[in-house]
Structures are given as C-alpha cells and as structure tokens.
Amino acid sequence: MCGITGWIDFGHDLRAEEATVRAMTDSLVRRGPDASGVWLAEHAALGHRRLAVIDVAGGTQPMEIREGGRHAVVSYSGEVYNFPELRAELVSLGHGFRTRSDTEVVLRAHLEWGEDAVTRLNGMFAYAVWDIAGQELLLVRDRLGVKPLYWTVQGERLLFGSEPKAVLANPRFRAETDAEGLAELFALPSAPTPGLTVFRGLRTVRPGHTVRFGRHGVRERRYWSLESHPHHGSLDTTAGHVRELLADIVRRQLVSDVPLGLLLSGGLDSSTLTALAATGPADKAATFSVDFPPGEQPERLGDWNRDADAPYIRELVDGLGTAHTAVTVPGDDLLTHRGIGLAARDRPGWGEPDTSLHLLFQGVRRHVTVALSGEVADEVFGGYPYFQDDGPLDTFPWLRGRTSPASLLRPEVAAAVRPEEYAAQRLSEALAEVPHLEGEPAEDRRARQVSHLALTRWLPALLDRKDRMSMAASLEVRVPFADHRLVEYLWNVPWALKTAGGEPKGLLRHAVRDLLPPRVLHRPKSGYPASSAPAYAAALRRRAEELVRQDRPVFDLVDREKVRRHLAEGTVLPGPRAAPHPTGGLDHLLALDDWLDTYGVSVR
C-alpha cells in the first residue's frame, strides 16, 4: 500500500513547485515509509510514498512509460490481485515488462485499453494516470472504495491525495467547512455521503468511479454498479459457489513479497479467512487479535458487542495451529495515543475504537507488513442486527434510536445546518439509488434496500477507519470479502438463502461448515471490542470539564450549556458511532475542538 498525491495546473509552471509537491508527498510518509518519489512537468506534478509489498526492488514510483505514440506516468496505491493474468495478456499484445510489479501492469493496461482498463482490475486501488501526450489526468478508485482518494478543483487547477492532509499541505487550499460539511460531521458521522467530505471544496472520488481533468474541465464517470437480476440455484449450489469464490479470493490475496498475517477475532468472518489461509500455501499462518488488561475488559454494548473473543480465538488457533499473537492495549496507551484518530483522519473520528484499532495495527506491524481482515462480510451476507429489524426505513437502520451529535449544536448553527432535514434528504437519495428487481417478494425488497444502504453508506465509514488506522501504522490491510465478484453474486441471493437455517449469515455458515469448530461456526455477531478502562473515561471527563470553562473554538458550534448539563447530570454525550459507548461523545467533542484549532478550520 502507498500514498499518492499530485497537482495539475494549466495556468502555472509546476517545475518551479518541487518544494510544495514534496511537502504534499511527505505528508503521507506513514502510508509509504519505504521510498519517496516526485515527477514534475510544466503542468503536472505527481508524488508517491511507497510501502513496498510486490517487487520490492523494482516497483518504484511515480512510474513513467513511453512506447511509440503512448506516453504516461502513474502514481498508484493498492493491490491488483489478478495482475499475473493481465500481465500475460499484455505480453501477448506486444508489451515488454521491466519490473514484476502490479504498478507496471496497471500503467500498461491504461496504455493499451485507456479508461476501460479499470474494468479489468480485481483489487483495492486508488491511482492517478497523467497522459503526457493528451495533457489529461485520470483519477481512479476501486469498486467499493477500499482505498481513499481526495480531490479538489479550482479553475484550471486540480489537487489530489490519498488523504486530506496531502491537499492541505498545498497553500492554495484552505481548511474551511460550511453547512454541508457540518451536517456530514454532526448529523451523519457514520453514514457519509459518497463524494462529500467535511472540508469545503474537497471531494472524494466515489467508489466505482473515475474523474478526468484536462483543459476541457472535469468529467466524472461511473464504471461499476450493482445490477439486480433473479438468482437461480439451491442452497447447496449457492453455498458451493460462495466457497469456490472465497477460496480463490484468499489464495490471490495471500500473494506478497513481504511477511503476511491475518486479523482473527474468533468471529465467523475472520475465522473463515484464517481457515482458508491455513489450508493453502501459508499453512503456518500468523494470526493477531486485540486484548485488554484485567480490569479493562471490553464493554458489552448490547447487540453490537456480545461476548469476549478470547475463548473462540483459542479454540480456532488450537485447531488450526496458527502462530498467534494477542496485542494488549492498556488504557494508559489509549490516553497517550488518542490523538492518532484526528491525525490519521484529518477530521474528528470515533475516539477510543480508532485508537485501540491503531494500537492493534502497530502491534501487528512489528511482525508483518500485510494483514487480511474480515470487513465487508456483514454487509454482503446480512449479518448486522439491523438486518433483522422490520421497522420502517425512516432513518439509516444503524442509527435507529440513536441521538446524533447534532443535538449539541447551538440553535443558530442548527438552523443553518438543518441536520434532521439533511439526514432525511440523504436517506431519500440513498434509497432512490437501489436497483430493485421487479416482482421480488417484500422480504427480499427490504433486504436489498438495507444491504444497499449498508454497502454505500455504512461500509465507507468502516473502510475509512480501517484504512486510516492501518496506514498510520504503515500496515497494509486487505479485505477479501470486498472482492467485487463475491459482492455482485451475493447481491442477488434471496434473503431466505442468506439466512439459511434461521441464522444470520446462514449461507456463509453453510459454505464453511466443514472448516470451523461448531462453537465458532455458530457464534453470534459481536463487533470490535471497546475498552472499559476506568482511567480513560475519567481522563476524558476531566478534559471536557476543563473545556467548558474555557473560550474554545468548539463552542462557536456546540452549545456550551448543553455540554455542561450532560457533565453535571452524568449523562452520556451523543457520539458519532452507531454502537453506543459512554466515552464516544466526549471523544468527539474534544477531537472537534482540536480539529478546529490545530487545523485552523474556518467556518463559512
């Protein structure tokens, strides 16, 4: 995995801007600690920070190729898992390769097939291709948005980067927010709108989209979307195909020229990946989990977090014989490193779960450079508790019964932001995107709606967190369940098959029933654990009490008296997470103040 950035400017000679381009590039050093590169031309500059995974010696970037009348340069982040097949096809078409890297495969694919090359790629990626002859930039993001990519246009200028910090490192972009950004931050912090950010004028390349920029201006194009059609096949046939897909996906994602491991929680999803990996070439797989010291064991958060991971992990590890490491995250470390969430995200995040996940990734990084993780399985197999809810879809399902941080806004700010109307409008837009199947049963229609909301509004928040916290530790995390072939197939599987046997994710359980011990196979969904360290909660409360006594920028937005009342009564401040947690709102409040102050964010 890597960090990419760049600057296109048809009104300015960028050959004189090397210092600024290097500052943009070096802001992404944690995404790529192994090497740095900058490519400069009159109207284009590309930067790259490399985390070497494939062809460690040969895959340096930005990579430039000139062949005949074709001339282009790429800055690429990600992994393309079918690059060996694509390489062979390109060789048959006359291409000669000078490296073993998937980067060269991606660039040559664009030289051969143009913008349509992206439809041939299987992987997680975000990259920029500058067509030197045509003087045009192409930004590309993978189908589900596993890898991030930000951009902004200012007339004849476009800036882009893997994270907002790369764009913010250019003095021509100012850190500002507005009513829309505040609505995303306060009303929908766990249901981000595709394409939008909390910074005014800064956008994301939407999942499954490309962005072209040249002298003609900007053009966005969707190259992938889910399509609905009838599913044919019994439970056994469907489960068999799922098993074949998963085996192929895991086999491809175990390819690495550097040490690789798996994140193992003892849940169905990560256990499935571990069992498949343990039967492949990595038969002595390295596995990793998070743990907490005695007295700081995880909070039980109802349906979101039910029981301890350790017994399930131990049973699986003993059965498979993996080399397992439990990374302990004490409360003192949570306090010491709690600023990592803001530093990695460039916006207020989820607080303690961000920090503990990052500390887990730091521990994993001491042993391996690449790890496989079980994200996305719940979205595609329907594993979250809210999939079982049959209430009206009058809010995003994971937010039902939750009070958003918008309830803390000052009255005049709330009047400008209109958080309830904003959330309702975004929900309506999201539901209008669902590709329904004519004549399907009401149960399947609703399951399709909830699944689409989960894939396009909930999953981006999870992937963003995973990407930032892992890359801040210079760890590449792969997500096999995000393979677009699996997502496309499961999109059309009826709900009755997905819940085979009357269990959530019954289809997945049926597909891997011979791989896992019964207790692990039938374990109910239990989310990422949240520390209950008393010292952490007490320290946040003290800081919040100090905050309300000071003249701080956060109170230009947040009602001081509302916060003071919560603290005096001992009630929980509304937080940004879907899962309830007593420190979530305190974390969000403190991070918001730090963001406004340290990033110098102005409100327009």
Catalytic site residues? 2
Summarised one tens digit per residue, pLDDT across range 449-493 is 999 999 999 999 999 999 999 999 999 999 999 999 999 999 999
Give the mean pLDDT of 91-118. 94
Positions of CATH 3.40.50.620 in the chain? 235-521
Q: How confident is the model at residue 299 (pLDDT cuts 50, 70, 90)?
A: low
Reply yes or no on whether the pLDDT at 303 is more than 80: no
CA distance 103 to 60: 9
* pLDDT for the residue 297: 72
Summarised one tens digit per residue, pLDDT across range 162-209 is 999 999 999 999 999 999 999 999 999 999 999 999 999 999 999 999
pTM: predicted TM-score of the whole model, two decimal places? 0.96
* pLDDT for the residue 308: 86
Summarised one tens digit per residue, pLDDT across range 253-270 is 999 989 999 999 999 999
List, in order, residues 6 or more apart from 477 with CB less than 8 Å away: 263, 361, 370, 371, 372, 373, 466, 467, 470
Give the mean pLDDT of 532-560. 94
What CATH superfamily classification does 2-222 receive? Aminohydrolase, N-terminal nucleophile (Ntn) domain (3.60.20.10)
HEC secondary structure over 26-78: HCCHHHCECEEEEEECCCEEEEEEECCCCCCCCCCCCEEEEECCEEEEEEEEE
Q: How far is CA 65 from the centre of its chain?
A: 31
Reply yes or no on whether the pLDDT at 437 is more than 70: yes
Summarised one tens digit per residue, pLDDT across range 493-540 is 999 999 999 999 999 999 999 999 999 999 998 888 888 788 899 999
| Weakest-pLDDT range from 203-212, 223-232, 315-324, 580-589 | 580-589
Reply yes or no on whether the pLDDT at 58 is more than 80: no
Angle at which helices 352-365 and 459-471 pack, to 10 degrees?
A: 50
Summarised one tens digit per residue, pLDDT across range 4-36 is 999 999 999 999 999 999 999 999 999 999 999
Q: What is the percent of the chain with per-residue pLDDT over 70, rounded to a whole number?
A: 97
* pLDDT for the residue 301: 56
CA distance 537 to 527: 20
Supply the mean pLDDT for the chain: 94
Q: Is 233 left (phi over 0), alpha (psi -120 to 50) or beta?
A: left
Which CATH code for domain 235-521?
Answer: 3.40.50.620
Give the mean pLDDT of 363-385. 97
Give the mean pLDDT of 570-579. 90
- Residue predicted with more confidence, 393 or 296: 393
* pLDDT for the residue 474: 97
Angle at which helices 102-113 and 83-92 pack, to 10 degrees?
A: 50
Positions of CATH 3.60.20.10 in the chain? 2-222
* pLDDT for the residue 295: 78
Give the mean pLDDT of 578-592. 90
CA distance 345 to 352: 14
* pLDDT for the residue 358: 97
Q: Is 49 left (phi over 0), alpha (psi -120 to 50) or beta?
A: beta
* pLDDT for the residue 570: 92
